[in-house]
Structure 1
């Protein structure tokens, strides 16, 4: 078997529950690609993790009077459960606090890079809170980004994706609100400038979206920064280098390194190619830190990137309304509705937001087109063919033209599902077109049942529609796996086959249909 295509999604900080912004970002989109590739027979390894050692986890624990490990454990369990509810099937989820050998692996990686002078000690300014008597880093400090002016936390800017260590304007302690004072602090840094030529060569060969290309070229033009690898603190993996007792591995560096642990690169060869899904705010970890680690280890890995803008969890809701939590939405609307909607709403440009009214619209669309057509089809088969697949060749008025259009749609779907031209929005639009055209075909040919000589013609039209329904158990499975599986069970066919024109075949004649009591897609 050939080496798998490696698909990654950003490790999620276990400081809160999964919300719709996360689903609309990397996770559902990466899962759709993973499913489509598997259905086509390609080996895939889909990995992610939880950033249990993020500063935001410790900060939430302090505010709630709890231990950081309790916060991380509780939210990790909730996040992974919600991934499953949303149909996101990850092969491996790295759990830094629980995975055996993880801490030692990370420390050995850091020690190896330190021995190569890739990680070096530097004395630089960092922020300190006199009131709390603690160093400020990551979620512990807020301010305006020194590059783009956007307000946010320390570490990485969510708007421009650049590191802002000691470069915030008006830094403020997130715990007490006191101003952060610059102090000299000796820490370990990943020195990127010595890797300039190797990184530049990597970025030239990578499939970078324009926003990431701008980021990388800007970094090269300004001089590649030294990126902190550790900081004084009590939460996280201890830095194993002599002279840095009391320091912990930086969560940004750890998130990048975690990807390699998830793949298990030290136990198996790297894949021929990797596809990374991330939000813009985490892009630096994927497009800079991970390649830098690979370059330092002497590993060459072609990589492509799918990046989305940051999605506001409460977008579309009235001011002051609570965030749209994944568990609530999945319980209320179902995985099919939520997955379909976030793929169309997945932010590629300015974010306009989404609220419950938008999800209601998506559910109504599924009911008014997909489920309505299937309900009519099942009813017609029950009334005109005793609930069994008719013994007739697909046909009917306009079937030749529709079949040609459907074959073309299958080829277009295959392209949009593929890694080279992956476009989940186009996938949804193509699937909707297939259903609308078939529903129109069924309506027109429905009149045949009332013509004395039209019974056979009507049965042929039912067989044609059942062929489309059977194809949708494969064509729609990556996007709406629950509905595609219910449809496959109703037709007594296996779900999740390859997206090809050859799927356009009705179930075996005489098969008794078993339609569900409720909607097929969504609920």
Structure 2
């Protein structure tokens, strides 16, 4: 059987930090969070050291704008949303690495200290540049506009966009580049421009390192996000704002920019480092960035949506490069496309959404929901979620054939008895090993695909239902069913837990044994 990839290197999985301006919906969950959870469970099952983490990015202007609409403070909204996000993660059994009863680290004074330490090192290293830029400005409100405070049209594709980067095409639109800019909280308010002196980090100064990194990592990126990186590199690269005028965020610690805050997107890598430290025990004697230091040779995997390729794929890379050789660089970015609901984007503002907890409260079993999301998640193109498809697809490809297999094993147990070890043939071992090798390949970073893994599990389930096993081949059926059960456990978490509690071995290696102890296959609840 093939060995698991890079088994000797610790792996750090970081999902894009959720903005605490509301709860997570199914579209969010089916992207980086479920994928990271399944991958982390696979890594643990193969004996690899893994830290799977994220945290909320409270400083985003989307939190500020949503709080203003809701008539609350951004701090209150962030706290309430973080609690709701954690409840949704727990509801779907998305289990981040943690040493406490919390899944997400609190965003507190220590978190902000990490951000300040991260950007101060850049400043001390001479990496930042002073620059005068033009920012859209809400004339009556007296607010500088960027990111979630700003809406207009993308200068690259013409579609509606917020500031920072276009959700549709992924192109950046910093400073005064957004067309027809308007203030999100008052679209009728006149918007002008004000010149502001800020600190920036010019991406173009790192072109050679960026190109070398992506030339080496291109095989671990999916085609569409890889094309976006190529398009960005084909033009002059923009400068990243490091400080901006604002009243919500981490105060910038620089004499050149009094009264400004750290640009929210610049916080991401510091927050991810802090979350990794927090997940590993919060030892105050250990620096917040210890686990990302290059000498530990961790394999860093970032998981995010296509709309975050610019920020999480390119900007985050340069923020690490700008610290010299101090930190590891991302081994891969696992990028998902948009997951639609009834052929339209999930939308909190239009209440066009289904939250994960609500889905489960409606009678969908957690394992069934996780399987359907894994099978249909948008890895390389947009996919669509419907309740009707969830019911029909899972009944046909999972629940029905799974429970038929469980009943078949139960019947054979009644016939053979539960005590005696059963013979396993060489042919069954070969089939189980070939199946395991196919699943291992799904988790290689060169062709990573949770959706393909879910499809292979469903196909194997159908194959076991169709294969005619004689009475003397009961041991063969059990070996292949146990292999299926073990590989299903990262997705079907409750079913896997039932099997473990019953004493079934769930490792991912079929083994070379020529006998197997009988066991029952746990059944799945129908929707």
TM range, smaller chain:
0.7 to 0.9
Divergent runs of 4+, >6 A: 316-321, 503-506
Tell me the distance in 2 between the aligned counterparts of 1:317 and 1:101. 36
Q: Which of 290, 300, 303 is 1:274 aligned to?
A: 300
Query: Kindly tell me: are residues 217 and 350 of structure 1, through their superposed partners in 2, closer, same or farther at Cα, counting changes over 3 Å?
Result: closer
Query: Which one has a bigger Cα radius of gyration?
Result: 1
Match of 1:361, SS state, is: helix
Structure 2 counterparts to residues 230-245 of structure 1, below 5 A: 230-245=243-258
Match of 1:452 in 2: none
Q: Is the 8 A contact 1:336 1:483 kept in 2?
A: yes
- Whole-angstrom distance in 2 between the partners of 1:508 and 1:223: 64
Task: Show structure 1 runs of 5+ residues with no match.
Answer: 446-456
Residue of structure 2 aligned with 1:290, choices 311, 316, 330: 316
> How big is the shift at 1:145?
0.8
Tell me what 2:509 maps to.
500
Give the equivalent residue in structure 2 for 1:418.
444
1:286 CA drift (Å): 2.2
Report SS of the residue matched to 1:25. helix
Shift of 1:494: 3.9
Distance 1:173 1:504 in 2: 67
**Residue-by-residue CA offset, 1:330-380 (whole Å, 9 max, x unaligned):** 333132222212222221344242111121123313221112221332244
TM-aligned CA deviation for residue 263 of structure 1? 3.3
C-alpha displacement of 1:295: 1.2
Please state whether the residue corresponding to 2:247 is helix, strand or coil. coil
- 1:313 is displaced (CA, Å) by 5.2
Worse-matched range after superposition: 289-298 or 179-188: 179-188
Aligned equivalent of 1:449: none
SS in 2 for 1:29: helix
Q: After superposition, what is the alpha-carbon deviation per residue over 1:85-143, rounded to whole angstroms, capped at 9, x for unaligned?
A: 22222125664623x52111211221221233322222111111123221111111111
Q: CA RMSD in A?
A: 2.7
**Counterpart selection for 1:201 from 212, 215, 220:** 212
**Contact kept in structure 2, 1:390 and 1:462, CA below 8 Å:** no
Q: Per the alignment, in what secondary structure is the counterpart of residue 348 of structure 1?
A: coil
Q: Is the 8 A contact 2:17 2:56 kept in 1?
A: yes
User: Which 10-residue stretch deviates more, 85-94 or 39-48?
Assistant: 85-94
**2:406 alignment partner in structure 1:** 374
2:281 alignment counterpart = none
Match of 1:26 among 32, 41, 49: 32
The equivalent of 1:259 in structure 2 is: 272
Separation of aligned partners in 1, 2:514 and 2:161: 54
SS at match of 1:12: coil
Check the 8 A contact 1:411/1:501 in 2, yes or no: no
Q: Given the superposition, is the C-alpha separation of residues 266 and 392 from structure 1 closer, same or farther in structure 2, using an over 3 Å criterion? A: closer
Q: Which residue of 1 aligns with 2:142?
A: 133
Match in the other structure for 2:96: 90
Query: Aligned equivalents of 1:9 and 1:503: distance in 2?
Result: 37
In the alignment, which residue of structure 2 is the partner of 1:485? Answer: 497
For residues 220-239 of structure 1, the aligned pairs below 5 Å read 220-239=233-252
State the distance in 1 between where 2:514 and 2:366 align: 27
Question: CA 1:58–1:422 in structure 2 vs 1: closer, same or farther (change >3 Å)?
Answer: same
Report matched runs for 1:311-322 at 5 Å: 311-312=339-340, 315=343, 322=352
The answer to whether structure 1 residue 323 and structure 2 residue 392 are counterparts is: no
1:167 aligns to 2:177 (yes or no): yes
Q: What displacement does 1:3 show?
A: 4.4
Structure 1 position 167, deviation (Å)? 1.2
Aligned counterparts of 1:462 and 1:338: Cα–Cα separation in 2:
31
- How is 1:338-417 mapped onto 2 (pairs within 5 angstroms)? 338-365=369-396, 366-381=398-413, 383-385=414-416, 388-394=418-424, 404-417=430-443
Q: Secondary structure at the match of 2:244?
A: strand
CA distance in 2 between partners of 1:417 and 1:221 (Å): 31
The aligned counterpart of 1:462 is 474
Q: Deviations over 1:242-292 (max 9, x none)?
A: 243332222211123322333346324343422211101112222212221
Deviations for 1:439-494, whole angstroms, at most 9, x for unmatched residues?
Answer: 223xx44xxxxxxxxxxx62x3433333233223311112222222223434x224
Q: Secondary structure at the match of 2:56?
A: strand
- Gaps spanning 5+ residues in structure 2: where? 1-6, 278-287
Greater alpha carbon shift after TM alignment, 175-184 vs 103-112: 175-184
TM-score (ref. length: structure 1): 0.86
Contact 1:471 1:503 in 2 (8 A): no
Give TM-score, length-normalised by structure 2: 0.86
CA contact (8 A) 1:473 1:488 kept: no
Q: Deviations over 1:392-420 (max 9, x none)?
A: 3247xxxx756543332122112223334
Matched, 1:59 2:65: yes
Change (3 A) 1:82 1:140: same
C-alpha displacement of 1:76: 0.8
After superposition, the Cα gap between the structure-2 partners of 1:349 and 1:142, relative to the gap in structure 1 and judged at 3 Å, is same
Give the match's secondary structure for 1:201.
helix
